[in-house]
Amino acid sequence: MPEVTLRRDMSTDLALNRQVVGACPHDCPDTCSLVTTVVDGKAIKVQGNPHHPQTDGVLCTKVARYTERTYHPQRLLQPLKRTGPKGSGQFAAVSWESAIADICARLHTIVGDPNQGPQAVLPYSYAGTMGWVQSEGMAARFFNRMGASLLDYTICASAGGAGLAHTLGANVGMAVEQFANAKLILIWGSNPITSSVHFWRYAQEAKRKGALLVCIDPRKTETAEKCHSHIALLPGTDAALALAMMHELVVHDWLDHDYLSNYTVGWEALRERALQWPPSRAAQVCGITVQEIEVLARDYGQTCQSGQAAAIRLNYGMQRSRGAANAVRAVTCLPALAGAWRHAAGGMLLSSSGARSYNKTVLQHPELRPPGPMRTINMSTIGDDLLRPASAAFGPAISALVVYNSNPVAVAPDSSQVARGFAREDLFTVVLEHFQTDTADYADYVLPATTQLEHWDIHTTYGHTDLLLNEPAIAPLGQSRSNAAIFRALAKGMGYTNACFEEDDLTLCKSALRGRLDFAALARDGFATLPQSDAPFAKGNFPTPSGRCELWSERLADMGWDGLPDYLPNYESAGSISTYPLAMISPPARNFMNSTFVNVQSLRDMEEKPSLEIHPQDAQAREITDGTLVRVFNDRGQYHCVAKISNRARPGVVNGLGVWWRKLGARGTNVNELTNQKLTDLGRAPTFYDCVVQVERAENF
């Protein structure tokens, strides 16, 4: 743990030598409290705050190198205007005044044109920063006032969110620290050693105290290797596994009948469905053995029957296939069947974001929107939508795009289609960024944004329930401005005179709290822990319409579903299309955060080259040896990378790790060349891991 003695003087003199408490802005469930040491106005190191229990003085490798990213020689430090063809990355520096004036003139023309109008303008953003102020604080005010199209934020978590909403009622679950007290932990569709190291710390504590850890993941991850057992099911088959577990709970009577009758809805119907799923049927679907299912169900059922805590850490792996929300629903039913919720260390956790009483929409001023219906564009189908012509159903074609906190040309599915959309000559694109990303290459204007060390923000989390303040440690580098400052300048340039466009970033932080929490108290420590009840669902009290855990959902039945969770086969499964016999998943790389950090040399060195893990059997059949350059392809595109022959891949499934920048990969492509724009059952989310490919040797890089 680092030696950190906090000197909190709350001075705004950024040149002081001091330690400043902030919050990690990244899309990671851990939301760490950061301590930045500043010497002569320069940040010299970023460490984990030892006083924040969830952080416990430890950061992941990526953010421990934050100064390398912040002071990167290629940081964007002045506004840029495109001088070459779209995508070529040729730009010239311009002044802020001329950039803002020209951007506003272009937007005015589009907004005022009866054939285009405000809804021809689309904001595109995601979780580059999860802060309230620098994500949708000022930006949403600006686009609401304009009347721009709305963006449907689906790229990551909306399928799981829909699954939870129709089962537990909201994004709620057990307290993350309680995993340390569990006797059995199922780590299901999650690789916490890569993606949530602070959760992994709780799991290890439980392991030291004798807990059994089981990992359910098609890939033999670092996490799977450290668990007692690993079930390598085929991608997208989790609902079948959960239904077979229910089958075993029923036939062995490892059920909590009292819990089922008092705190659930629809048990009789779900019981019938579960009885249709003997382990032999699920084993076939999941590509695993009957015994693996029987042992898993027995461990789960008997742990709960003996009054001990069984906890499920469910995460994002299963949310990226067609049947995503149904799979989340099926797994989420298990704790209710076995009565696991009775124990503070039992139940499940996917996301805790619904547990807090704060609501970031207070910042967004939706009342600024013009009257009438708003058009919503799904961020996961941006490839197709950018190429869609105007029509009665779609509305105006997208004429202008303002991208911030996201790198869609790299991270959105079916990326060659996305790049075709961005390449449209008649599309006016503005990108707010730290770096010249694949997306920035297609911009007409690139505007330099501050990083977390340079601006104020407020953070809530989806892995625990604390609230954090991010105080700037250093002055903005070069001419960079915070996103909020950029949108304030754009608002002024557009002639928007509403008082809310006057608020500075610190005022935005304060107004976000709206009297629910004292700002000075939050500023003192940099974080506040919200009170949480132990075993919140021990006696039902679920935030569903019925107040019960909805095994059968009336709301889903009203939408035309059968109301029960079911297994929905993938759009594309291993072996279903003979030309593309391998399933491919593309989970995160350990040293990148989605596509962030790919340009940080020391982290890229650790990831080496874009790679594809392939099982020895599948490699041998294709005469592929370790380190061979391979071409991975399907009807959507092709991706060149290095083969890693490895038992991390199961037979029939290849793993294309990480979201590389296309221009830093081989031949300007990344793994999203292969993924598709089809959506999940509920939640309108992408199906990145519902993908089939063929692999062959390639000649050269």
Ligand X SMILES: Nc1nc2c(c(=O)[nH]1)N[C@H]1C(S)=C(S)[C@@H](COP(=O)(O)OP(=O)(O)OC[C@H]3O[C@@H](n4cnc5c(=O)[nH]c(N)nc54)[C@H](O)[C@@H]3O)O[C@H]1N2
Among ligand SF4, Mo ion, ligand X, none, partner that 221 touches (CB below 5 to 8 angstroms by kind)? ligand X
* Three-state DSSP class for residue 13: coil
The DSSP element (H or E) to which 430 belongs, if any, is: strand 428-433
Contact residue for ligand X among 144, 149, 196, 461 (CB under 6 A): 196
Please list every residue from 420 through 449 that binds ligand X, using CB under 6 A: 432-435, 437, 449
Mark the segment that binds ligand SF4 (CB under 6 A) among 29-37, 252-260, 299-307, 638-646: 29-37
Please state the closest distance from residue 195 (CB atom) to Mo ion, in A: 9
Contact residue for ligand X among 52, 86, 145, 219 (CB under 6 A): 219
Among Mo ion, ligand X, ligand SF4, none, partner that 405 touches (CB below 5 to 8 angstroms by kind)? ligand X
Sign, CA torsion 103/449/659/469: negative
Sign, CA torsion 200/204/205/211: positive
Please state the closest distance from residue 129 (CB atom) to ligand SF4, in A: 11
Contact residue for ligand X among 36, 406, 573, 634 (CB under 6 A): 406
The DSSP element (H or E) to which 105 belongs, if any, is: helix 96-112
Concatenated DSSP letters for 208-255? Answer: HTT-EEEEE-SS--HHHHHSSEEE-PPTT-HHHHHHHHHHHHHHTT--
Question: Crossing angle of helices 238-251/324-338, nearest 10°?
Answer: 20
List the x/- string, 291-330, binding to ligand X by CB under 6 A.
------------------------xxxx--x---------
Please state the closest distance from residue 402 (CB atom) to ligand X, in A: 10
The yes or no reply on residue 462 touching ligand X (CB under 6 A) is: no
The yes or no reply on residue 659 touching ligand X (CB under 6 A) is: yes
Residues forming the site for Mo ion (CB under 5 A): 156
Contact residue for ligand X among 36, 144, 461, 675 (CB under 6 A): 675
* Three-state DSSP class for residue 42: strand
Question: Crossing angle of helices 138-146/483-494, nearest 10°?
Answer: 30
Hunting for tokens 């102020």 — which residue is that? 133
Supply 501's token pair.
Answer: 């466009």
Mark the segment that binds ligand X (CB under 6 A) among 164-172, 382-390, 526-534, 671-679: 671-679
Neighbours of 376 (CB within 10 A): 13
The yes or no reply on residue 26 touching ligand SF4 (CB under 6 A) is: yes
By the 10 Å C-beta count (0-12 exposed, 13-18 middle, 19+ buried), 295 is classed as: middle
Mark the segment that binds ligand X (CB under 6 A) among 51-59, 250-258, 346-354, 579-587: 579-587
The yes or no reply on residue 189 touching ligand X (CB under 6 A) is: yes
The yes or no reply on residue 127 touching ligand X (CB under 6 A) is: yes
Nearer to Mo ion, 156 or 180 (CB): 156
Long-range contacts, stretch 58-61, CB < 8 angstroms, 24+ apart: 58/1, 58/32, 58/197, 58/198, 58/201, 59/24, 59/32, 59/34, 60/28, 60/30, 60/197, 61/590, 61/591, 61/603, 61/606
CA–CA dist 35, 473 (Å, integer): 9
Residue in 316, 362, 356, 347 with CA at minimum distance from that of residue 171: 356
Please list every residue from 221 through 260 that binds ligand X, using CB under 6 A: 221, 235-236, 238
* Three-state DSSP class for residue 441: helix
| Length of the chain measured in residues | 701
Concatenated DSSP letters for 667-681? Answer: GG--GGGT----B-S
Please state the closest distance from residue 596 (CB atom) to ligand X, in A: 4
Mark the segment that binds ligand SF4 (CB under 6 A) among 56-64, 148-156, 202-210, 335-343: 56-64
Residue in 510, 530, 587, 526 with CA at minimum distance from that of residue 32: 526
List the x/- string, 173-212, binding to ligand SF4 by CB under 6 A.
------------------------x---------------
Residue in 92, 29, 161 with CA at minimum distance from that of residue 683: 161
The yes or no reply on residue 423 touching ligand SF4 (CB under 6 A) is: no
Contact residue for ligand SF4 among 18, 30, 422, 457 (CB under 6 A): 30
Mark the segment that binds ligand SF4 (CB under 6 A) among 24-32, 324-332, 432-440, 684-692: 24-32
CA–CA dist 683, 687 (Å, integer): 11
The yes or no reply on residue 684 touching ligand SF4 (CB under 6 A) is: no
**List of residues contacting ligand SF4 (CB under 6 A):** 24, 26, 28, 30-32, 59-60, 62-63, 197
**List of residues contacting ligand X (CB under 6 A):** 27-28, 126-129, 134, 155-156, 188-192, 194-196, 216-219, 221, 235-236, 238, 315-318, 321, 404-407, 411, 432-435, 437, 449, 483, 585-588, 590, 592-596, 659, 671-672, 675, 688-689
